[in-house]
Structure 1
Amino acid sequence: MRKLLLGCAATLTGMIGYAGLNAAHAQSASNTLAPGQITVRLNGRVNWYAGIESSSLDNNTTTGDKTSTDNFLGYMRLYPGFDGVAANGLHYGAAAEIRMNSGQSASSETLYVFQAYGYLGLPEIGQVSFGQQNGPSVLFETGFFEGFNDGGWNGDIEGMVPSAANPVYPFPDSGSAYDQATNKIVYLSPSLSGFQFALGFTPNQTAMNYAPATTSTSTPIVGGMPRNMLDIGAQYTKSFGPMGVQLGVDYTTAGQVNYTGGNTGFVTNYKNMNIFTGGATVTYGGLTIGGNSVVGAFNMADGFTFQLEPDGGTTAVGWLAGAQYTMGPMVVGASFYRFTQTGDLPGGIDAGSGASITSDGLSTGQQQNNGVAIGATYTLVPGVNLFADYLYGTRQQGGYDFQTGNAGTDHNNVQAQLFGVGTQIQW
């Protein structure tokens, strides 16, 4: 799934961050070069996990299939790129992230470009980047506490849990099509007295090698499709003696691809997207505490993809609180989040269940997701990190069967838990 984290303590953010693929890293990297210099890199990492999981959906009563509760999981990623400074002081460069897909066998594995962008900038006025990249909502994410293990419920090890039993994680970097892998342009300001802001524009939710895009369609798009997305964010980072403070805010708004077809009996009408998120952390010594909250007109009806709130739906609200403590090479921590939203859109009615859906095509109950994450990261040697994870999560949506994806009275409440260990080796 999403962002996997490295293993050196960040004193202000309360996270452990891989110095990976984003515009802020490019800005920082080029600032270390003298005019006329270029640096080329090929970074990468290999992650591997072992885990035992248990969920309400391990035994599929519809198909008769049963999920293996003990499993191994892993992947490889590559980060090619370069940074340069011209003789006239112009900073420039490009970077990419290459990922493996989730093939069942080695022969079915392929590589694909998840992100790729170029950038131009001057230290005095900021930087413009363009391509498949992170927007401000990801660049300035604050208070998510994803650094004390594999990433909590926003890591990768929870891929061992049946996807419908995974509680939805509502924060920006969990939705790759929303703000990580779409073609956009981003302005990132210089940092002034600890304050930095960014502005991003995404005309369509497409990759950089795809055009033209659809502006209206007679075919329903499940979950709707944002377009002309504007993302504005800012972050303040400051030390006051032994105490560090970080504050981050972001606002995202977008229109949508119009639906021009007739009534299908399913959800076809959606509200425009509006999302506000804000977070804060305070660090004293090795202890960091804080959290984040998100509210707005959006929905996550299909896995971890940010979508539009349907007509007849409800405003999405999420919050997370966490703490972590750094002791030399060891980081331990815990977090809890809750997210309520319109929820999954039923594909039909389970025969004989007696369930019903509203006139807007929605199930009768709002969806609630809860997630607890506890764990530790230990840096064995530079570039080698060991993880220990415990995850517990629940999902509830009245009138929706998480096993079948239809309206039904069964499997309206599901739970999942996982204990796992893993390692990340990077270069």
Structure 2
Amino acid sequence: MKKTLLGTTALVAAGLLASPALASDPLRVTIGGNVVTGFYFVDADDLDLMGSASFQNTKVALVARNIDIKAEGTLDNGLVAGVDAKLQLNNDYSLGSAMLSESNTSPYSSWASFRQLFAYLQGDFGKFEIGGTDGAAYKMHYTSPWFVPGNGVDSPNILNMPLMLVRHSTFSLLATDSNKISYFTPRFSGFQLGFSFTPNVTLSPSENGLTLAPKDQGVQNVYEAAINYAGTVGAVDIGADAFYVSGTGDYVIGDQGEPEEWGLGLNLGYSGFTLGGAYYKSQDMFGNWAAVPKQAGLDNTTWTAGLKYATGPWTVGVAYLDTKQSLGDIVPLDLKSKNWQIGGGYNLGSGVDIGIDLQSTQFEVYNFDYDSKSVGLVLAIAF
């Protein structure tokens, strides 16, 4: 979420044959990963939209199941080259497992796929990335701090509610993990620029080496531009960013508008405290990435704020995220979600963290309110 460039002219071929072989050492390969688990007690309202449905009052979460494979080395000319691959092991959704498994016959089928796979070159000029990965807007974004191991209120790994009708993120997700090309400038006086282009949005890295993706089959031509700052002023650590993303939503059924995303983020750190937040807005999008017709008038506003304190192996904090999805002119309704998180963690050593996660979520639409509260013990292991 590798490509080889081949010279096709005799001149290029002759030049390659005549060039002396470089004596660079092989790229160094490292393998790691992470797993986040949790056991929760949940108090959730019954759902009465289409018949009454009640939900589990205990939950075992198993998320962020990734194997990370990285290869990197410094060439004789000083360039740093590498490959980054993130292998995702199954997911938390039974229906999704059934749909994505090879046999597509059982909701309990196992599967593993590369969620991200890209190559990069880095030097004094900056850094180029080519392949399936997050774009500049995503990678350069700051938001409310995470203090529970492996889970936060912004883009949570664990969210204890059955309704996922609104987004829970201030990150740009329009072209996340899709095949793209990105460029990041060197950092000057704390500032850095980043740009990404995604020709065709897919849900995971796709092999396009032998075929061309058809037009009018989804979101295409996604451009991203981002700027961030990382530095220290006096005794305060500052991280800030702004981004803009736009694409074209073309489908067989006709024009699906021009989805756009804007975002701002800020982190302030002082003497163990981190105060952070972010603001996000989109139009012609529903949820995380689906493009919709411009005439529908859909827009989304999401913001978050949080405070973390860290000392030694301990972290504690509180954070809030608020989302409003307007359904525009087609259905004159707003979908709203309010999410609180309180908790903390303790580092046992060697990438092993344990923590307490308290969540409170309220979902609103028309005259319907849904509330869910939970408390859980989280164990996160990185290796």
Give 1:259 shift.
Answer: 4.5
- Where does residue 184 of structure 2 map in the other structure? 188
1:417 aligns with one of 369, 373, 379: 373
Q: Which of 217, 221, 236 is equivalent to 2:229?
A: 236
Contact 1:309-1:315 within 8 A present in 2 as well: no
Structure 2 residue 338 is matched with structure 1 residue 340: no
Judged with a 3 Å threshold, the aligned counterparts in structure 2 of structure 1 residues 187 and 68 are, in CA distance, closer, same or farther, namely same
**SS, match of residue 283 in structure 1:** strand
1:295 counterpart = 2:281: yes
Specify whether residues 335 and 61 from structure 1 end up closer, same or farther in structure 2 by C-alpha distance, changes over 3 A only. Answer: closer
Match of 2:10 in 1: none
User: Which residue of structure 1 lines up, in the alignment, with residue 90 of structure 2?
Assistant: 101
TM-score by length of 2: 0.81
2:138 match: secondary structure:
helix
Relative to structure 1, the CA distance from residue 342 to residue 155 in structure 2 (aligned partners, 3 Å threshold; closer, same or farther) is: same
Runs of 4+ with >6 A deviation: none
Q: Name the counterpart of 2:8.
A: none
Aligned residues: 344
SS of the equivalent of 2:137 reads helix
**Partners of 2:258 and 2:291 within 8 A in 1:** no
Task: After superposition, give the CA deviation of every residue in 1:21-40 in whole Å (9 maximum; x if it has no partner).
Answer: 9xxxxxxxxxxxxx646321
Superposed displacement of residue 300, structure 1: 3.0
- SS at 2:378's partner residue? strand
State the alpha-carbon separation in 2 of the partners of residues 162 and 236 from structure 1. 37
SS of equivalent to 2:295: coil
SS in 2 for 1:138: helix
Matched, 1:125 2:114: no
Who is 1:73 aligned against? 61
SS of match in other structure, 2:212? coil
1:200-279 to 2 correspondences below 5 Å: 200-206=196-202, 207-210=205-208, 211-216=211-216, 225-260=218-253, 270-279=256-265
What is the match of residue 313 of structure 1?
A: 297
Cα distance between partner residues in 1 of 2:357 and 2:166: 16
Deviation at 1:424, TM superposition (A): 1.0
Provide the residue aligned with 2:270 in structure 1: 284
- The Cα shift of 1:312 comes to 3.2
Mapped partners of 1:313, 1:332: distance in 2: 40
Out of 44, 56, 68, the residue aligned to residue 33 of structure 2 is: 44
Q: Distance in 1 between matches of 2:175 and 2:316?
A: 29
Please, which of 65, 71, 76 is the counterpart of residue 87 of structure 1?
Answer: 76
CA contact (8 A) 2:170 2:303 kept: no
Check conservation: 1:116, 1:132, Cα contact below 8 A: yes
Q: Which amino acid is 1:387 matched to? A: G
**Alignment match, 1:172:** 171
Q: CA offsets, 1:222-277, max 9 Å, x none?
A: xxx4210000111111112321111111111111214446xxxxxxx643122111
Aligned-pair Cα RMSD in Å: 2.7
- Does structure 2 retain, via aligned residues, the 8 Å contact 1:51–1:418? yes
TM-score scaled by length of structure 1: 0.73
C-alpha displacement at 1:336, in angstroms?
1.4
CA drift of 1:204 comes to: 0.8
Query: Per-residue deviation at 1:138?
Result: 1.3
Give the direction of change, closer, same or farther, for the CA distance of 1:395–1:309 in structure 2 (3 Å limit).
Answer: farther
CA contact (8 A) 1:214 1:257 kept: no
Equivalent position SS for 2:296: coil
Q: What's 1:396 paired with? A: 364
In structure 2, C-alpha distance between the alignment counterparts of 1:82 and 1:387, rounded to whole Å: 32
Out of 189, 193, 200, which is 1:197 matched to?
193
Q: Which has the higher contact order (CA 8 A, sep 6+)?
A: 1
CA shift, 1:152, in A, is 2.4
Amino-acid identity (%): 20
Q: Distance in 1 between matches of 2:317 and 2:290?
A: 27
Shift of 1:131: 0.8
CA displacement 1:172-194 (0-9 Å, x = unmatched):
26x4xx33321111111122221
Task: State how far apart, in whole Å, the 1-side matches of 2:34 and 2:187 are.
Answer: 29
Distance 1:259 1:170 in 2: 29
What amino acid is the match of 1:277? G
1:381 to 343, 349, 352: 349
Segment of structure 1 superposing worse, 326-335 or 362-371: 362-371
Whole-Å separation in 1 of the counterparts to 2:293 and 2:262? 14
Does the CA-based 8 Å contact 2:90-2:112 persist in structure 1?
Answer: yes
1:156 and 2:157 matched: yes
- CA-CA distance at 1:290 after TM superposition: 2.6
> Quick one: which amino acid aligns to residue 135 of structure 2?
G
Q: Quick one: structure 1 residues 48 and 306, their matched pair in 2 at CA, closer, same or farther if it must change by over 3 Å?
A: same
- Superposition deviation, residue 63 in structure 1: 6.0
Does the 8 Å contact 2:120/2:127 carry over to 1?
yes
